[in-house]
Amino acid sequence: MNWTISALLLAALSAALPACAQLSSSEPVLDVSAMDKTVGPCVDFYTYSCGGWIKKNPIPPDQSNWGTYSKIEDDNRAQLRTILEEAAKATSARDAVTQKIGDYYASCMDEAALDKLGAKPLLPELKRIAGLKSKHDLAEYAATTQFPPSLDGGGTLFTFRSNQDFKDSTQVIAEADQGGLGLPDRDYYLKDDPKSEELRKAYLAHLAKMFGLLGDKPAHAAAEAVTVMRIETALARGQMTRVERRDPPKLYHKMSVEELQKLAPAFGWNTYFTKTGVGSLASPLGTLNVVTPDYFHVLSEQIEKESLADWKTYLRWHATHDAAKDLSAAFVKENFSFYRKTLRGQEELPPRWKRCTNDVDGDLGEALGQAYVAKYFSPEAKQAALKVVQEVEAAMQSEIQALPWMGAATKEQALTKLHAIANKIGYPDTWRDYSALKIVRGDEIGNSQRASWFEFHRWLAKIGKPVDRKEWGMTPPTVNAEYDPQKNDINFPAGVLQPPLFSPFSDAAPNYGDTGATMGHELTHAFDDEGSQFDAQGNLRNWWTEADRKEFEQRAQCVVDQYSGYTIIDDIKINGKLTNGEDLADLGGTLLAYLAWKEDTKDQKLEPLDGLTPEQRFFVAYGQSWCTNERDENKRLRATVDPHSPEKYRANGVVANITEFRAAFHCKPGQPMVRENACRVW
């Protein structure tokens, strides 16, 4: 993902935004003062583009990294704070949506009330866990806990949700997936290098401290920590790696509930599905996708192997972990100490208002989004952004038609997919209805739990129904963008189409180099190593001829090999197989944006500005989109879990493959930014 905006969009956006939100001429997309011209662009383009910025922008203590878009997110969060503080005023004039976001925020901000409660809000859940009579009760507990299964792969025991059927993209089916860990990834439990061992010791200490906050004696808390680590390590051994999960066919195992019960007999699946409301003994759930069968086999083995007492310990930990942010300062600080300070190097806890703003956006994102869009985004801006995306898509069409390595049959399918892509800009056509979600002022943990259950049941209610292709997966204030291969759509929320992501005072080249490349990036995801396995309707289907697929994979492997040679920190290299999709999208997206810019300005006489030619300004803007300072701890974590390459290589790795870059800066063969065997796919 990349971010900023095209010249075609600027006039409409500038006119549409409130005066207070518009930029001054001192906020250009391309900042010459951020450059370091003592470094040659053909030697280290990232430092050439960002060296000045890096020196002037140290990492704030409440951040694990600080980049161009970290600052944008922080500024955007301040805009949301303004909305929420106004909404929190308990007046009779508030409508239902304003009441919900305002009361949620006010409850979260009442830190003094939370400190008085201590661990009390968690006690009912801990009492339920203590009252489990046998391991047969695990299924009912998992289905009715105050903390529903995470939808994104975390949470207790496993993940349960709905998803589009990979082989029938018109329908939604139930889906069970791996989960159950407290550390960020399976590799944290299984790698035997000194740093991993050090982090496991730190995790054990954190577990013991959290049990201590529940009132457990130090020796007992330490023993409980060992129990949790043992169970989670066993579960981790059953999980797929992140690289394996990049291959969609490996994630599709459709089976009946009876087959799942045979696969994992120690867990009562009929009880679980009945209690969650997706099936009953009279009307059972038909089939579901078991994403990771090996995991559920291992989970069942561990349920049989471990004692009920030890499973209670595991459940107590996960309940406490899930509730930590909504409890007293002691829990919040200890949670921060491990997950943000130890794992990411963050020095200070972000102020309460930032955390509460994030919570409202996470739990009531489309309610908050309504107020955000009304204040900071207009229909005119939405239409202007759509026009730019369509320009980049036109460039992709030309590229596909001209590809020398792809045959006519595959080209036809690729163009069909391209033309079927839906473009979602700004915000949904229909806002989500939160009327069934009860928000009570003064009940922070209750609000959080009810919001989680509301979202969980909203997802489960989709099972067996047609896919709603108009639904959004990102909230309107989000500073990000995405491509969904199953819906075959591109999503650009209003939050990523806001100042200072672009400048109405800038020439076109930087705007295309920045946001134009973002749009091209998301479009290229439709044809990356993962997205290319889905067809125009979003079905998992091989639409390639055998020869063309082989040609594609050879070109993708070129990118894997290139990025696998880059060092992140110490002796840690980029996992080029994990980052391949994003690396392909960076490369393809930048090329598409360049072509779209050239087409848009073909009848214009472009002149140098600030000592840079238009072509140079395009590429410098792209380089500056990645200006970042990052803590070492965060680099190590991202090396394991993040499918994006470090920002330095998102700049240097791309331009080193682009002949137009070489021409723009007169780079010569043998220089670091000139790859002898350049990679190119699209």
177 catalytically annotated: no
| Coil vs helix vs strand at 183 | coil
Q: How confident is the model at residue 233 (pLDDT cuts 50, 70, 90)?
A: very high
pLDDT digits (tens, 9 = 90+) for 61-95: 999 999 988 998 999 999 999 999 999 998 888 99
Q: How confident is the model at residue 246 (pLDDT cuts 50, 70, 90)?
A: very high
pLDDT digits (tens, 9 = 90+) for 443-494: 999 999 999 999 999 999 999 999 999 999 999 999 999 999 999 999 999 9
φ and ψ at residue 567, rounded to 5 degrees? -95, 130
Q: What is the CA radius of gyration of the chain?
A: 25
Q: How confident is the model at residue 501 (pLDDT cuts 50, 70, 90)?
A: low
The pLDDT, as a whole number, for residue 507 is 83
The pLDDT, as a whole number, for residue 505 is 66
Which residue ranges make up each domain of the chain? 7-12+34-82+363-430+470-665, 116-350
User: What is the C-alpha to C-alpha distance for residues 147 and 323, in angstroms, rounded to an integer?
Assistant: 8
Instruction: Kindly state the percentage of the chain with pLDDT values over 70.
Output: 93
Q: How confident is the model at residue 13 (pLDDT cuts 50, 70, 90)?
A: very low
| Tokens read off for 682 | 């699209």
| Tokens read off for 87 | 């909404």
Catalytic residue among 175, 359, 548, 586: 586
586 catalytically annotated: yes
Q: Is the per-residue pLDDT at 245 higher than 70? A: yes
The pLDDT, as a whole number, for residue 9 is 43
Question: What would the mean pLDDT of 605-633 be, rounded to a whole number?
Answer: 96
Q: How confident is the model at residue 152 (pLDDT cuts 50, 70, 90)?
A: confident
Catalytic residue among 216, 359, 522, 548: 522
Between 389 and 14, whose confidence is greater?
389
Asked if 520 and 393 touch (Cβ cutoff 8 Å), the reply is no
The pLDDT, as a whole number, for residue 25 is 38
Q: How confident is the model at residue 281 (pLDDT cuts 50, 70, 90)?
A: low
Q: 7-12+34-82+363-430+470-665 architecture in CATH?
A: 3-Layer(aba) Sandwich (3.40)
| Coil vs helix vs strand at 492 | strand
Q: How confident is the model at residue 154 (pLDDT cuts 50, 70, 90)?
A: low
The pLDDT, as a whole number, for residue 283 is 65
Give the least confident one: 330-334, 371-375, 387-391, 630-634: 387-391
Q: How confident is the model at residue 15 (pLDDT cuts 50, 70, 90)?
A: very low
Handedness of CA 664, 666, 669, 673 (dihedral sign): negative
The pLDDT, as a whole number, for residue 153 is 63
CA–CA distances in Å: residue 422 to residues 18, 379, 425, 478: 29, 18, 10, 19
Neighbours of 639 (CB within 10 A): 20
User: What is the C-alpha to C-alpha distance for residues 232 and 54, in angstroms, rounded to an integer?
Assistant: 39
| Tokens read off for 69 | 């878009």
Tell me the pLDDT of the chain averaged across its residues: 92
User: What is the C-alpha to C-alpha distance for residues 476 and 307, in angstroms, rounded to an integer?
Assistant: 46
pLDDT digits (tens, 9 = 90+) for 21-43: 333 334 668 999 999 999 999 99
168-177/628-630 β-pairing: unpaired
Q: Is the per-residue pLDDT at 368 higher than 80? A: yes
The pLDDT, as a whole number, for residue 18 is 40
Q: Is the per-residue pLDDT at 593 higher than 60? A: yes
| Tokens read off for 556 | 């993708």
Question: What would the mean pLDDT of 338-366 be, rounded to a whole number?
Answer: 97
The CATH number for 116-350, chosen from 3.90.550.10, 1.10.10.10, 3.30.420.40, 1.10.1380.10, is: 1.10.1380.10
Q: How confident is the model at residue 286 (pLDDT cuts 50, 70, 90)?
A: confident
User: What is the C-alpha to C-alpha distance for residues 503 and 21, in angstroms, rounded to an integer?
Assistant: 12
The pLDDT, as a whole number, for residue 147 is 80
